[in-house]
Structures are given as structure tokens and as C-alpha cells.
Amino acid sequence: MNQVVIPIPVDSIGRQRKRRQPKGRQVDPAALAEVRALLGEAPRRRDLLIEHLHAINDRYGQLAAPHLAALAAEMKMAQAEVYEVATFYHHFDVVREDADGAIAPPPALTVRVCEGIACEMAGAQSLLDKLPALLGTDVRVVAAPCIGRCERAPAALVGQNPVDVASAEAIVERVAAGAVRHEPEPYVDYQAYREQGGYRTLRAVADGALSADDAIATMEHAGLRGLGGAGFPAGRKWRIVRAEDGPRLMAVNIDEGEPGTFKDRFYLERDPHRFLEGMLIAARVVQVDAIYIYLRDEYAGCRALLTEELRRLREDPPCADLPPIELRRGAGAYICGEESAMIESIEGKRGWPRLRPPYVAQVGLFGRPTLEHNFETLYWVRDILERGPEWFAGQGRHGRKGLRSFSVSGRVNKPGVHLAPAGITITELIDEYCGGMLDGHRFYGYLPGGASGGILPASMGDIPLDFDTLQPHGCFIGSAAVVVLSDHDRAVDVARNLMHFFAHESCGQCTPCRVGTAKAVQLIAQPQWDREALADLSAVMRDASICGLGQAAPNPIDCVIRYFPHELA
């Protein structure tokens, strides 16, 4: 067969056809000017991407495509990188043009009604049903994951302003009042804290009166373990990170998104400098170069408080050479409570957990050894160093040691944060600290560790509540978020609520969690549960999920099958 050769003009060889305009969305000059004016002199670093997205979202009520393109150009990033971060977080309202190129105006206001388990038990669904008709089309009403106000259920956020023990009337009244800022609880400010002897221990560490080795030894002897849920010994963590080559960094986790947990907010609203002193002591002992505080976006009042108190601390430091402290704002993603996902978020990325090893203590924030701590863990550092390890270790019941801050919600007379001995049982906690059960309610069951900690029946109310005591029963204490159930509740309904939460909050990185949580929601929605399929699904999620979300998500289902089989008959 003869080959047909098509001649090519010599002058066209090697020449590329020129595009009339570059590929992709073009940057609108007006949008670019708006973004530049909004950011002002703020650095355009990649790790500040989420902060800049917040600035745009706060100002314009949404993230429109022209502003995202302008931000990408201003930060010298690909538009896809900016878009993937913006769409990952629940609190960013990303919109695109319609077919005619028009951008829908943002809602005048967003009302978020918490649908967490404590709020559902208190009537949140009734609010979600009533509010759209009462508020009209200009106000958007959405069901939100736990907003950390479980002791005041049902709770809602009008904009960023909380409404506690919310009724439809109270929410309508708050909306009508406009942008009323949440008034903080009375708290110990910087001056009052210094007058009460605050930062004396930090100065002792800075001056060498209390050596780093002695401080670490005291923490180890006290037996303080990480109070965010993992329970890793705090003193040992200090020793491990301090042994790594510098520069070292510190990341503080105040993204308590576990349904039922609100202890960090409770302490932060009342005594912020006790936490800040513990943080600075740990930083000085470990010799970190900078500190990053990651605070969940739902805590706007805490953010304002902490911003002000950090300003006072910088203007009148209690000792020389305080490390730089950056306060970073979450954007509504439960997964960022996982330490490596939080670090990814601080770096300006999606909150995807990292595979380990390497561990955060070795390769953490910006690739440096990182001391990661929960808020409450640091809150106790000053007291332990001043009172001695025996004071903390001497607390406890039933053979356990230490103190625990229990976030208690549900069917009790006195929900709230209750500081009690580690190892206390749920029946003791209810009777001695919570004022007993609500009138007309009989103790039926409890969640010992929030959404992921499992569900136990009242007949197992004599188990000491502490690390390592609940694992034989398929549960764990986690952050000590205790939700008390009564004979007005069903464990099946609780499991459905919790699994809906996990499916909503799965980051989507790994298939076992992304697909498994969604499939579990479908399976347990049925009147009759396919126990064999659920058992297989649970095993795959536990064995193959990257992080604790997928690994622990089956706990409520497994506990219902194991301890509440009569509800499935």
C-alpha cells in the first residue's frame, strides 16, 4: 500500500498555535482589587490560605468563583488548589455562576441548628421543622454537626452567635436583633491572673529555678495523659520531642468536635491564662520556636477572648523570649481534631490525616518535630508543677489515678463540665455530680466517650471511667464526653444519629471510611439490621481506615448489637 504523505509548510514546523487567552478561568480585575484591599498587608503565604478564605467569606457571605480565582492569582497558587481547600470545609459557602454567568446572592443570615445527639434528644428536629417558615427565605436554616454546647441543648448559632436552650421564639428574636455579638462569660483576664500568682511557674522555668528535666520528671510522675482522647503520657511526649533536632514547633488542638464534648470551651471561657501558661511552660521545656493554636470555628466568642488575651500577653510578657504564637481558625471539619489532619489544616490544606510513620513528634508541622497537645492537657500543667505530682496522682477512685473533666449532657438535672476523680462510675457521677436523673426518667444507658466511644447499658454502670477500663467492653473514654440516656431513648436511634454524623464528617480520603460510613447509614436505617453485613463492614473499617474516625465509627453499631439486642428484635 502506498503511504500518503501530507506536506507541511516549512515555516509552520515547531510553531505552536497561539491561544487567544490562557486556559482556565481568567482573573477579574475588580475581584482582584477587592481581594487585595481585603487582605491588605497580610502575607500571601500558603499556610494562610484558610485565613484568607475566612476573610473573604466573612466579608461577602460566600466564596464566589471570581474571588477564588483572584485569591489564587494573588497567592501564586493554582486555582484547583484553592478550590479544593475551599470546598473541603463546611463553613465556606462556595458558589459558581449559573448558565448566564450570574452569581446567586448570599443568604442574609445562616442559622445553624445543632443536630448532635444531645440536641436531638432535646428537640432539635422540631426547631429544624419550624424555623424555615418562621424566618422566611432570606435566612438559611441548616442542620449542623455538634457545635460544642451540649450542656445547653438544644443549641443553635445565629450567624456566629450562640442561642442556648433554644426555642423557635428565641431564635427568631435573635435574628430580628441583628448581628448581636455573644457576650463572654465572666473570666479571669491577664491582670487578674497575674495578681493571683499566674505565670510565676513559667518564670521559674525561664530563669532555671525549675529545670526542664525536673519539669518533665514531675509530669511523668503525675501520670497526666493526653486529655483530647488518645491518652498518651504528657511527660513522655515532652521528652520525645525535646530529644529531636530543632527547630521544633508546637500545635495546640482546640478543635473539640466530638459530639458531647465541650470541656475545652468551658475552661477557655473562664480561665484562659491557666491554659496559656501551661502551653508556654511546655514550649519552654521542649524548646520550641513557634506555637500554633488551632481553634474550632464554632467558638467565635472564645476566638475574640483569646485574641484579646494574647495581645495583652505580648504587650506585657511575664518573661523574656516568648515564642511567636499564631491563632488559627478552623472552618468546620470534625476530622481536624485528629492531630495530623489539624497540622495539614494549619498548613493551609485540606484536613486529610497523614499515614504514619513518621509520627508528628518527628515530622509534624512544616516538616519539623512538633509537640501536639490538647487544650485541657496543658490546662493542668501549672497546677501539677506547683502542687506536685502526688496531688494529681493522689486523686482517683477504684484503683485509678488523676482527675477527669467530664462533659456531661443528656437526661440529667445538672449537665455541664464536672471535675471528678478518674475511675468514678457513671452511677456515681450521675448521683454525686449531676443531681440525678431528670424527673420521670430512668437511667437506661450511656455514651462513656462521645460519639465514637460506644454505648453501654445501665446494667454496666459500675465500670470505672478512665483510660484502659472500657476497651474490654468495646468502648473507650476518649475525651470523657458522657451522654446519659433514659428510658425515653432508644440506643438504635442514638446509633443512627451518630453514624449520620460520621458519614457527614468523613474526610473522604480513604475508601473504607468514605464508603463504609455511608453504607452503614443505609444498613441501620432498615427496621431489621443485616448483622452479618454490618459485622463485615465493621471489620473492614477498623482494619483498613487511615485514622481513628473510620476505625471507631462502627462502635455505636457494634454496641447496639451486643448490648441492646432487644431493640432489634
Topology of domain 109-177, per CATH? Glutaredoxin (3.40.30)
Given a contact cutoff of 8 angstroms between Cβ atoms, the answer to whether 118 and 259 are in contact is yes
The residues, ordered by sequence, that sit 6+ positions from 301 with a Cβ below 8 Å of its Cβ are 162, 181, 182, 183, 184, 269
**pLDDT for 97:** 78
Taking Cα atoms as reference points, which of 497, 416, 511 lies closest to residue 165?
416
Residue tagged 464508603 (cell numbers): 515
28, with CB counted inside 10 A (0-12, 13-18, 19+), is middle
Taking Cα atoms as reference points, which of 343, 341, 337 lies closest to residue 450?
337
> DSSP assignment of 365-401, as one string?
GGGS-EEEEEHHHHHTHHHHHHH-HHHHHT--STT--
Which stretches does DSSP call E strand in 422-500?
Answer: 443-447, 456-457, 481-486
Q: Both ends of the chain: CA-CA distance in Å?
A: 77
Which residues sit opposite 141 in a β-bridge? 111
Spans in the chain with pLDDT lower than 70:
1-23, 179-183
Query: What is the β-pairing status of strands 443-447 and 481-486?
Result: antiparallel
**pLDDT for 180:** 62
Given a contact cutoff of 8 angstroms between Cβ atoms, the answer to whether 336 and 251 are in contact is no
Domain edges within the chain: 29-95, 109-177, 190-389, 404-486, 490-568
557, with CB counted inside 10 A (0-12, 13-18, 19+), is buried
**pLDDT for 175:** 94
332, amino acid identity? G
Neighbour count for residue 438 (Cβ, 10 Å): 16
**What is the dotted CATH code of the domain comprising 29-95?**
1.10.10
**What is the dotted CATH code of the domain comprising 490-568?**
1.20.1440.230
The residues, ordered by sequence, that sit 6+ positions from 129 with a Cβ below 8 Å of its Cβ are none
266, with CB counted inside 10 A (0-12, 13-18, 19+), is middle
**What is the dotted CATH code of the domain comprising 404-486?**
3.10.20.600
Given a contact cutoff of 8 angstroms between Cβ atoms, the answer to whether 113 and 154 are in contact is yes
* CATH class in words for 190-389: alpha beta
φ, ψ of residue 447 in degrees (nearest 5): -100, 115
477, amino acid identity? I
- From CA 221, how far away is CA 215, in angstroms rounded? 10
